[in-house]
Amino acid sequence: MRSLFVSLFFCATALSVNGQQKLVWADEFDKPGVPDSKKWGYDVGDHGWGNQEKQNYTDADTNNAVIRNGSLFITARRTADGKYSSARLITKNKGDWKYGRIEIRAKLPKGLGLWPAIWMLPTDWKYGDWPNSGEIDIMEHVGHMPDSVFTSIHTESYNHMIGTQKTKGMYVPDTHENFHVYGINWTKDKIDFLLDGKTVFSFKNEKTGPKVWPFDQRFHLLLNIAVGGTWGGQKGLDDSVFPQHMEVDYVRVYQ
């Protein structure tokens, strides 16, 4: 029945969104097992990821990333040796876009010390290393602020290292119990951040060059759960919460 629904969905939405944008890339997570390797790769390792994070990101390990019951489950675990494992899925060189509407329907993990994120990084890094080539944080959530989600922009001029990042926090008390649609609508003039289809924050192109607006290049999507870190672990880490997962119902990209 779900397969029939998905087929009908693609026929309908491939036509347009708001009469303009067409579906160009999607994953409905219908095939159980390892995520589709034609759409997803992995960042792997346990080197802290620039934020003093504690997890080891694994490569195509169904303990940390698996599709079942029509959803992608990204799971953070405490391993038998007292360490932590998780997954960081990326669409780099499999799904890279300049402009468009991107929507991710997800339910978030719960627990002190967890740091799930839905975000984007540049594929080609034309303007240099982070933050010069930009970062788009569609959704970030930290376990010590369980009723909130955040959207942020990082560029050379606007980033948290110098205290100028452009950030918007939203009160969303049911992120662990219910799905929400996190998204952006990105054009050459601005990036609108969306929560359940409503614009909650906008970042405009100031027309002053790439120090403010490096978003005229290709970006790819990342989905992950970090453990601890400078923000996620700011109020400590509760080992009793594991395992925890972020459940993703779909990812859809329109242009």
- Residues involved in catalysis: 135, 140
User: C-alpha 120: how far from its chain's center?
Assistant: 7
DSSP one-letter string for 79-120: -TTS-EEE-EEE-TTTSEESSEEEEEEEE---STTEEEEEEE
Residue 81: partners with Cβ closer than 8 Å, 6 or more residues away: none
Cis peptide before 214 (omega within 30 of 0): no
Return the percent helix, strand and coil in the chain, to nearest 5.
5, 45, 50
Q: What is the C-alpha separation between 141 and 195, in angstroms, rounded?
A: 13
Taking residue 100's Cβ as centre, other Cβ atoms within 10 Å add up to 18
